[in-house]
Amino acid sequence: MGFCYNEFLLKFVSYSYYEVYTNTQRAFSGLGFSYGSDEDAAFITTWLELCGLNGVKLLNLKIKDLDNNFNANIDPSKISSEYDFNNKSTLMIGPGLIDYLISKIDSNSNFKITFKNCNDPIFFIPLLYKYAKKSINSQIISNKNIQAQITNKHIEINKEIISTDYQENFDLLLTKNIISEQKLDIRIQSSKINEMLSNGINPDKKSWDQISEIAFRTFVPESEESRSKGAGGGDAND
């Protein structure tokens, strides 16, 4: 079998942040996410992909769990020193949950909670980074080991939590206090993120194609009736 230059090039197609965000947003809409929630989940996925953390591939691994199972309901009465995810994805409840927890940071500038049955903590990282830019630092701690630390200068992550099948309960610490630097497996400098934007994004091709198929669900198929009424296409005089 000869070398196929076109197939070689397709493995290294580069997309802009906007292209990845738009495609994943449509995919989440196709999976049944509500308006607004699809945008939050697209931000999470695209940010991870931008930072080299395989956001699109991780999303692809979650499709069966997410498809037509959207439920972002959070019961504040069940949130205390711990919260049970019941295996619901962070892509669904993470954005609303983090916003709620941020409001609970006490007069000592700290809030700590234990999460149970959350199998995709990696999806928390982009949400926590948004608040790190507002001087709220965070740590994800499992078995007394720091698995991730997010500040406005650095994002430190252990490879162990880059998973959609994480089996350990973990603590989330939110704090306005300064926290000591860590040396974990992966370090992302905040100052380099804008530079990453200019370099383009290269998602895993197989995962990208599968996400694109789901995004296509959001396009309304043209029927005979819609064609007769002029739907599905624009007019140069519109």
Question: HEC string of 43-55?
Answer: HHHHHHHHCCCCH
- What is the average per-residue pLDDT within 135-161? 95
Q: What's the pLDDT at 78? A: 87
Q: What is the CATH number of the domain that holds 207?
A: 1.10.1530
Q: Are residues 81 and 43 in the same domain?
A: no
Q: Are 140 and 161 in contact (CB under 8 A)?
A: yes
DSSP 190: G
Q: Are 112 and 177 in contact (CB under 8 A)?
A: no
Q: Are residues 50 and 99 in the same domain?
A: no
Q: What's the pLDDT at 101? A: 93
Q: Are residues 7 and 62 in the same domain?
A: yes
pLDDT at 93 exceeding the cut of 80: yes
Q: Are residues 21 and 104 in the same domain?
A: no
Q: pTM, whole model, 2 decimals?
A: 0.86
Other CB atoms within 10 A of residue 134 CB: 9
Q: Are residues 65 and 96 in the same domain?
A: no
Segments forming the whole domain that contains residue 51? 1-70+201-219
**Number of domains forming the structure of the chain:** 2
pLDDT in tens, 21-70: 999 999 999 999 999 999 999 999 999 999 999 999 999 999 999 999 99
Q: State the Cα–Cα distance between residues 74 and 97, nearest whole angstrom.
A: 7
Give 201-233 as a DSSP string. B---HHHHHHHHHHHGGGSPPP-HHHHHTTTTS
Q: Are residues 98 and 186 in the same domain?
A: yes
Q: What pLDDT band is residue 235 in, cutting at 50, 70 and 90?
A: very low
Most confident option among 20-24, 189-193, 196-200 = 20-24
Of 63, 49, 57, give the one whose Cα is nearest residue 16.
49
